[in-house]
Structures are given as structure tokens and as C-alpha cells.
Amino acid sequence: MGDIGQFLPLILIFLVAYLFMIRPQMKRQKDEKRFAESLKKGDKIVTKSGLYGKVVDLNDKDGSCIVETMAGRLKFDRSAISMEMSKKLTTAKEK
């Protein structure tokens, strides 16, 4: 029991780090991946850089999509898309 008592603080530190840092990050990554896979043509989106547009075309081979903006059509990686605007509008109305 004495040997385990010496390692107990170290074990608790790893447990707390897992619960508060590693596990939420893994959940966030799963949610982002699920969101990127659920994109479809016609979705109004916002990129992580703050660019607003509408998804015009999706390419499943390389994971990219074509977004139409006021400046024209731009090609983005799906991981660069932050959120769909309809979801943002519904959360704003709920508040």
C-alpha cells in the first residue's frame, strides 16, 4: 500500500488532465469531423477565417468544397468551415 501511495498524486494528475483536457478535445474533434461530413450543397456557411458563403460543390476525393462568396467561387478544405449559418441563427434566436 505504501508504494501505491507514492504514485497516487501522479495518477490523480493524469486522471484530471484526461478528464479536463484530453477527453473534451477528442469530443470536439469528433464533432468537427461529423459536421464536415454532413455538409451538403446549398448550405450557408462561415469559414474559420470569417468568410461567409454558400456551398456550391463538394469533392469527396480530396475533402474539399467550392464556396460561392460575393467575390466569386473559392475552393476550401472542409476542415476550414466553422459552422453552418442556419445553426448559428437558431442558437441566436434561442438566446
58, 18: one domain: no
How high is the pLDDT of residue 26? 93
How high is the pLDDT of residue 91? 59
How high is the pLDDT of residue 3? 79
Is there a contact between 53 and 62 (Cβ–Cβ < 8 Å)?
no
32, 47: one domain: no
Q: How far is CA 52 from CA 12, 19, 45, 87, in A?
A: 44, 35, 6, 14
Looking at the structure of the chain, the number of domains it has is 2
92, 68: one domain: yes
How high is the pLDDT of residue 66? 94
Q: What is the CATH number of the domain that holds 69?
A: 2.30.30.140
Q: How far apart are CA 17 and CA 44, in angstroms?
A: 37
51, 80: one domain: yes
52, 81: one domain: yes
How high is the pLDDT of residue 7? 87
Range of the structural domain that residue 11 is part of: 1-38
46, 28: one domain: no
For 53, residues 6+ apart whose C-beta sits below 8 A from its C-beta are: 44, 45, 47, 67, 68, 69, 74
20, 54: one domain: no
- Residue-by-residue pLDDT tens, the chain, 95 positions: 567 788 888 999 999 999 999 999 999 999 988 988 888 999 999 999 999 999 999 998 888 999 999 989 999 998 888 888 876 655 556 65
63, 92: one domain: yes
How high is the pLDDT of residue 1? 56
How high is the pLDDT of residue 92? 59
